[in-house]
């Protein structure tokens, strides 16, 4: 085992259980979220959305709406000069160009909920009232709602392309045909995960202000990617980047969906500029469900090849991802991720996976925590448990034999083409058996496994264990500016953004340790484009590693300047000085504290460049009890053990893991965005989209390790915001299958609603 | 319409249209933006305030219905400076991440523990199961509430 990362020895804050700085304002009700701000004379926006999933727009009549009280304007595609702008991709590839989303529908609507007009009125109520005053004459076209009909090309969403396939990603490695030819055992299955969304508790919203005198646009309500969105907005508005600012406020949850560039972002800003008025927009929950990025609708037909003793030889097959009507900025991420990361933590010498991105008449997809990885993990873990049974190999043993070891690092995953800039990737560090064994211990598998398939008090018990990797530290760079204030305190301006994860605390901890000063003397400002020239944000579990490493660079630079300033004051060479705990000292006992050089206006820019992702890895255990009478599943125990390279804040880390695990239970059991055959979304409120509540899943235990630091960054840390959700689908479903093994039930489709579980049991009874 | 009620110990009088919800009235007329709105249809609990001692969804109540009532919001649960014992327990147990559900959680738990300072874990879970949190997974919220009971037991003891 490697020693703990020794880059810095005097840690007080890093690794500790530190209470969060941001909590104080949140707990007092003093957080500032988008709807908490208002501007004098602002107008409110509301969107008219297509109620038809696929059709040709014949005409749109806004006259009634315009005549309604308080209505100032109605914007339709006709008000946009020239071509309707489309939203650019964050990770482009050669085939997706024609599928980009226009910011408003002009000739055609392609999903239920697509914006066709924007009302601007004096109050949100009046704007919403006026929605009924807009009538659209839309000629319906045949609706495509699943990948199968999409691939049959019976109706085309985009006539120009002649296809409903936006992209096909191929993940390849080794000689897969040879692997299957040599196999002793092959397992094949068709499995699927359902359409979901991230569902942050705060709905989306924006406030756009146009400063006509200076030609400047300010957009409040940024999250995730303020700098990318600024350049996108500037380009679409034909403004220089410096004429646009994105301001971050407090954000009520992100989870991959909030903060991407959506059509409404442009339209709200367009209205503000056109009418020289602040325009504010907050979506309601129904709108949120039909408009924010969906995710996770995926199916597979995949097979795994094994030797007779359970060694994995190869994996091949097809994945189908229903990406909805357009390719959104990160719409391909789940597709390419599912292909590349399906092999997960396992040694897989040969791979050929084709992942089809199918366009359909549903809300366009984007990312949701663990994009593509959750889906891929569900597929492979289901196959592994079935293979274990077929081969007669123990379920633990089959995993342990195939988990990657320290000696194999770095380990290359499959190459994914067409390249979106990350065709190749390597697991960075770790011994994946270590977390696995720790999880087996922590879960008390020896005892718990005795319950497998047992009927106790009318419920069948089942257990399972599954393994995962989580990609983090998305590149390419992050920046941090540090200023020594007059009173000797430090202001830290970070390009990373806050999405509820505690970035103010994490970055202050890192800075305090590297500067060796109390954390209270550091104030973190983040996520707004007016704080520093360039930054990236918080996505792909990157803020701690990328933002934190940029902070370290800034600390080093600030200490170097401090040394020079102190040397001048003491009249010595900088080399003569030792700096410790915020004080520059000489051997003769003379010293200068940091605060004393504040008049020198010390200010530094730190940055960290890195294109190599980190891979947190771990194992999860589930114990479930299934009521065969109702189909209800109780999660009796759930344990997750991961190795994050280096823990910065054990409290927030566990918060991430636990919160993600519980989200995962929602994915497995209750959450589903259901459409009818006409492509209408049937889920319109939180009473139909059922996320976990406090009484549903009372037990999640997590253990985090830091045995194998990541070699990719000075902290040795790995991104850890998403891992908690990745294994949940696979391990919980395997536990359910294990519980129902006496019936021979093999779940293929999520979610495992009580009725679906009950039906599986009944079907098995009929078969028997 | 003019409505008069007491908010966080202060008497207020506001002019609202009949359809204005108590949530909107608190947020937009009285600028008490600690009360959040997550669904506007009574499911998420983010908008929970305390009306005459009961936890109430302010998105489902009209402002005019509050006429003459005593309303407490998260701002009213906060001491002049610092944090109440319940708020402190939330911080210690990391019972919040994005903070959006937090005001509703605090008001709901405050109303519960003021009435039932000995509520057990099941009771707490049951009561807050009407408040949605997407970030935490609830486990730490329940721990915080359990931990905060002592201060309610105490203050009740003092009063009696
Ligand atoms: S906003 Fe009132 S319950 Fe959701
Ligand atoms: S802390 Fe984010 S919703 Fe509860």
Tell me the average pLDDT of chain B: 96
Domain stop point among B34, B51, B77: B77
Confidence of residue A527 (pLDDT cuts 50, 70, 90): confident
pLDDT for B25-84, tens place per residue? Answer: 999 999 999 999 999 999 999 999 999 999 999 999 999 999 999 999 999 999 999 999
Evaluate the CA torsion angle A403, A408, A411, A414 in order and state its sign.
Answer: negative
Is the per-residue pLDDT at A378 higher than 80? yes
Tokens 């400002």 belong to: A525
**Mean per-residue pLDDT for A361-374?**
97
- Residue B93 and residue B66 in one domain: no
**Mean per-residue pLDDT for A739-747?**
97
How far apart, in whole angstroms, are the C-alpha atoms of residue A399 and residue A401?
5
Nearest residue to A253 (alpha-carbon basis) of A656, A690, A683 = A656
Instruction: Report the pLDDT value the prediction gives residue A533, as an integer from 0 to 100.
Output: 87
pLDDT for A290-339, tens place per residue? Answer: 999 999 999 999 999 999 999 999 999 999 999 999 999 999 999 999 99
Tokens 């903070």 belong to: B99
The pTM (predicted TM-score) of the whole model is: 0.96
CATH number at residue B21: 3.10.20.30
Nearest residue to A615 (alpha-carbon basis) of A414, A375, A428 = A428
SS3 A289: helix
A692 touching B, CB under 8 A?
yes
Instruction: Report the pLDDT value the prediction gives residue A742, as an integer from 0 to 100.
Output: 96
Evaluate the CA torsion angle B62, B67, B69, B75 in order and state its sign.
Answer: positive
SS3 A280: strand
Which class in CATH covers the domain with range A23-31+475-609?
A: alpha beta
Is the per-residue pLDDT at A7 higher than 80? no
pLDDT for A632-681, tens place per residue? Answer: 999 999 999 999 999 999 999 999 999 999 999 999 999 999 999 999 99
CB A467 within 8 A of CB A399: yes
Confidence of residue A1 (pLDDT cuts 50, 70, 90): very low
Fold of A34-141+203-251+258-291: Aldehyde Oxidoreductase; domain 3 (3.90.1170)
Confidence of residue A693 (pLDDT cuts 50, 70, 90): very high
Is the per-residue pLDDT at A706 higher than 90? yes
The total of structural domains in chain B comes to: 2
Compute the half-sphere exposure of residue A236: CA atoms within 13 Å on the CB side of its CA.
27
Tell me the average pLDDT of chain A: 95
Nearest residue to A45 (alpha-carbon basis) of A246, A277, A218, A225 = A277
**Mean per-residue pLDDT for B149-156?**
87
Instruction: Report the pLDDT value the prediction gives residue A539, as an integer from 0 to 100.
Output: 81
Residues 6 or more apart whose CB falls under 8 angstroms from that of A680 comprise: A51, A53, A112
Q: Is A349 exposed, middle or buried (0-12, 13-18, 19+ CB in 10 A)?
A: middle
Query: What's the N-to-C CA distance of chain B in angstroms?
Result: 41
**Angle of CA points A649, A650, A651, to nearest 5°:** 90
By DSSP bridging, strand A455-456 and strand A351-359 are: unpaired
**Mean per-residue pLDDT for B12-20?**
95
Is the per-residue pLDDT at A513 higher than 50? yes
Q: Which chain B residues contact residue A663 at CB under 8 A?
A: 134, 137
Instruction: Report the pLDDT value the prediction gives residue A222, as an integer from 0 to 100.
Output: 87
Helices and strands (DSSP H and E) totals, chain B: 6, 5
By DSSP bridging, strand A294-295 and strand A279-282 are: unpaired
Is the per-residue pLDDT at A587 higher than 80? yes
- Residue B50 and residue B109 in one domain: no
Beta-carbon separation of B135 and A19 below 8 A: no
Q: How far is A243 from chain B (nearest CA, A)?
A: 30
Instruction: Report the pLDDT value the prediction gives residue A237, as an integer from 0 to 100.
Output: 95
Instruction: Report the pLDDT value the prediction gives residue A532, as an integer from 0 to 100.
Output: 86
How far apart, in whole angstroms, are the C-alpha atoms of residue A59 and residue B126?
51
Q: How far is A759 from chain B (nearest CA, A)?
A: 28
Q: Which residues form the domain of B140?
A: 85-159
CA dist list (Å): A210 to A198, A412, A427, A552? 31, 49, 46, 37
Query: Which B residues 93-132 touch A at CB under 8 Å?
Result: 94, 96-103, 106, 125-126, 128-132
A35 touching B, CB under 8 A?
yes
Residues 6 or more apart whose CB falls under 8 angstroms from that of A370 comprise: A470, A660, A722, A723, A725, A726
Instruction: Report the pLDDT value the prediction gives residue B157, as an integer from 0 to 100.
Output: 59
**Mean per-residue pLDDT for A530-543?**
85
- Region of B80 on the Ramachandran plot (φ > 0 left; ψ -120 to 50 alpha; else beta): alpha
Ligand 1 lining (C-beta closer than 6 Å): B 37-40, 42-47, 57, 59
Confidence of residue B148 (pLDDT cuts 50, 70, 90): very high
Domain stop point among B77, B112, B141: B77
Identify whether A751 is preceded by a cis peptide bond (ω within 30 of 0): yes
How far apart, in whole angstroms, are the C-alpha atoms of residue A342 and residue A337?
8
What the block records as the tokens of B83 is 């944090």
Host H or E run for residue B41 = none
Q: Which residues pair with A167 in a beta bridge?
A: A357
**Mean per-residue pLDDT for A113-138?**
97
A-to-B residue pairs, Cβ atoms closer than 8 angstroms: 171
Domain stop point among B46, B77, B108: B77
Nearest residue to A431 (alpha-carbon basis) of A580, A617, A254 = A617
- Residue B64 and residue B103 in one domain: no
Q: How far is B130 from chain A (nearest CA, A)?
A: 7
Is the per-residue pLDDT at A6 higher than 50? no
Instruction: Report the pLDDT value the prediction gives residue A115, as an integer from 0 to 100.
Output: 98
Confidence of residue A10 (pLDDT cuts 50, 70, 90): low
Choose the closest CB to A285 out of B27, B41, B91: B41
Tokens 């290359």 belong to: A412
CA dist list (Å): A218 to A207, A226, A241, A480? 8, 12, 11, 22
- Residue B155 and residue B92 in one domain: yes
By DSSP bridging, strand A71-76 and strand A490-494 are: unpaired
Is the per-residue pLDDT at A628 higher than 60? yes
- Region of A681 on the Ramachandran plot (φ > 0 left; ψ -120 to 50 alpha; else beta): beta
B100 lines ligand 2 (CB under 6 A): yes
pLDDT for A234-252, tens place per residue? Answer: 999 999 999 999 999 999 9
Is the per-residue pLDDT at A223 higher than 90? no
- Residue B50 and residue B111 in one domain: no
Is the per-residue pLDDT at A722 higher than 70? yes
Where in chain A is CATH 3.90.1170.50?
34-141+203-251+258-291
Q: CA-nearest residue of chain A to B77? A: A28
- Residue B73 and residue B123 in one domain: no
Percent of chain B with pLDDT over 70: 97
Host H or E run for residue A732 = helix A728-739
Q: Whose CA is nearest to atom 3 of ligand 1?
A: B42
CB A587 within 8 A of CB A573: no
Fold of A294-473+612-767: Aldehyde Oxidoreductase; domain 4 (3.30.365)
pLDDT for A596-611, tens place per residue? Answer: 999 999 999 999 999 8
Is the per-residue pLDDT at A108 higher than 50? yes
Confidence of residue A594 (pLDDT cuts 50, 70, 90): very high
How far apart, in whole angstroms, are the C-alpha atoms of residue A362 and residue A321?
12
What the block records as the tokens of A255 is 């989870």
- Residue A659: CB atoms within 10 A of its CB come to 30
Identify whether A365 is preceded by a cis peptide bond (ω within 30 of 0): no
Instruction: Report the pLDDT value the prediction gives residue A5, as an integer from 0 to 100.
Output: 37
């Amino acid at each position: 085992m490697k020693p703990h990362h020794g880059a810095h020895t005097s840690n007080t804050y890093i690794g500790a259980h530190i209470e969060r700085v941001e909590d104080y304002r949140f707990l007092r009700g003093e957080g500032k979220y988008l709807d908490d701000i208002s501007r004098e004379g602002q107008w409110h926006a509301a969107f008219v959305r297509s109620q038809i999933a696929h059709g040709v727009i014949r005409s749109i009549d806004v006259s009634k709406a315009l005549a309604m009280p308080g209505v100032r304007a109605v914007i339709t595609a006709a008000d946009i000069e020239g071509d309707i702008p489309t939203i650019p991709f964050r990770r482009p590839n050669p085939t997706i160009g024609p599928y980009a989303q226009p910011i408003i529908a002009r000739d055609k609507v392609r999903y239920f909920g697509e914006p066709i007009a924007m009302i601007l009125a004096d109050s949100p109520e009046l704007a919403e009232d006026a929605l009924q005053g807009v009538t659209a004459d839309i000629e319906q076209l045949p609706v495509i709602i699943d990948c199968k009909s999409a691939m049959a090309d019976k109706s085309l969403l985009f006539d120009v392309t002649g296809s409903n396939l936006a992209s096909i990603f191929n993940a390849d490695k080794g000689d897969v045909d040879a692997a299957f030819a040599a196999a002793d055992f092959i397992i094949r299955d068709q499995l699927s995960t359902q359409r979901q969304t991230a569902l942050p508790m705060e709905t989306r919203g924006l406030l756009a202000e146009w400063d006509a005198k200076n030609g400047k646009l300010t957009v409040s309500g940024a999250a995730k990617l303020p700098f990318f969105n600024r350049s996108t907005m500037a380009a679409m508005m034909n403004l220089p980047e410096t004429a646009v600012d994105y301001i971050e406020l407090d954000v009520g949850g992100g989870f991959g969906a909030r903060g991407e560039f959506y059509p409404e972002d442009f339209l709200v800003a367009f209205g503000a500029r056109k009418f020289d008025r602040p325009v504010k927009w907050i979506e309601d929950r129904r709108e949120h469900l039909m408009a924010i990025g969906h995710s996770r609708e995926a199916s597979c037909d995949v097979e795994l090849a094994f030797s007779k003793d359970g060694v994995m030889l190869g994996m091949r097959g097809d994945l189908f991802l229903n990406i909805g009507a357009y390719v959104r900025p990160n719409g391909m991420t789940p597709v390419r991720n599912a292909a590349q990361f399906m092999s997960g933590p396992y040694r897989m010498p040969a791979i050929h996976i084709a992942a089809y991105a199918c366009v359909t008449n549903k809300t366009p997809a984007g990312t949701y925590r663990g994009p593509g990885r959750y889906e891929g993990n569900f597929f492979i873990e289901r196959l592994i448990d079935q293979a274990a049974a077929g081969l007669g190999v123990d379920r633990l043993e089959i995993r342990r034999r195939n988990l990657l070891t320290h000696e194999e690092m770095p380990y290359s995953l499959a190459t994914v083409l067409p390249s979106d800039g990350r065709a190749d990737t390597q697991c960075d560090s770790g011994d994946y058996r270590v977390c696995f064994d720790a999880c087996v211990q922590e879960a008390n598998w020896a005892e718990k496994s005795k319950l497998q398939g047992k009927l106790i008090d009318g419920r069948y018990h089942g257990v399972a264990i599954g393994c995962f990797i989580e990609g983090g530290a998305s590149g390419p760079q992050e920046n941090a500016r540090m200023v020594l204030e007059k009173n000797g305190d430090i202001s830290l301006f970070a390009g990373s953004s806050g999405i509820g994860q505690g970035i103010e605390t994490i970055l202050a901890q890192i800075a305090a340790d590297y500067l060796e000063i109390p954390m209270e003397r550091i104030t973190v400002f983040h996520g707004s484009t007016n704080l520093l020239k360039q930054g990236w944000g918080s996505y792909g579990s990157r803020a701690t590693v990328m933002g934190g490493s940029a902070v370290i660079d800034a600390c080093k630079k600030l200490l170097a300047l401090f040394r020079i300033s102190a040397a001048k004051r003491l009249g010595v060479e900088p080399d003569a000085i030792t700096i410790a705990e915020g004080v520059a000292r000489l051997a003769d006992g003379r010293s200068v504290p940091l605060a004393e050089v504040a008049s020198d206006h010390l200010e530094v820019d730190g940055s960290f460049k890195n294109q190599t992702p980190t891979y947190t890895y771990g194992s999860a255990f589930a114990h479930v009890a299934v009521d065969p009478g109702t189909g209800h599943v109780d999660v009796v125990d759930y344990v997750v053990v991961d190795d994050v390279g280096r823990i910065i804040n054990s409290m927030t880390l566990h918060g991430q893991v636990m919160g993600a695990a519980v989200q995962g239970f929602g994915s497995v059991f209750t959450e589903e965005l259901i459409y009818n055959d006409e492509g209408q979304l049937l889920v319109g409120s939180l009473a139909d989209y059922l996320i976990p509540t406090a009484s549903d899943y009372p037990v999640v235990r997590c253990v985090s390790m830091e045995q194998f630091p990541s070699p990719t960054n000075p902290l040795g840390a790995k991104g850890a915001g998403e891992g908690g959700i990745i294994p949940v689908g696979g391990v919980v479903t395997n536990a359910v299958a294990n519980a129902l093994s006496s019936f021979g039930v093999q779940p293929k489709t999520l979610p495992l609603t009580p009725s679906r579980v009950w039906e599986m049991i009944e079907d098995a009874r009929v078969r028997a | 319409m003019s409505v008069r009620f007491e908010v966080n110990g202060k008497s207020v009088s506001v002019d609202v249209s009949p359809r204005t919800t108590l949530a909107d009235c608190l947020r937009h007329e009285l600028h008490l933006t600690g009360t959040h709105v997550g669904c506007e249809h009574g499911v998420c609990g983010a908008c929970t305030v305390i009306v005459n001692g009961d936890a109430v969804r302010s998105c489902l109540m009209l402002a005019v219905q509050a006429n003459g009532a005593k309303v407490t919001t998260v701002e009213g649960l906060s001491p002049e400076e610092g944090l109440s014992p319940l708020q402190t327990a939330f911080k210690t147990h990391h019972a919040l991440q994005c903070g959006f559900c937090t005001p509703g959680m605090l008001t709901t738990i405050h109303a519960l523990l003021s009435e039932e300072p000995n509520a057990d874990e099941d009771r707490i879970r049951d009561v807050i199961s009407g408040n949605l949190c997407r970030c935490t997974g609830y486990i730490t919220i329940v721990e915080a509430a359990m931990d905060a009971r002592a201060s309610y037991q105490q203050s009740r003891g003092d009063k009696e």
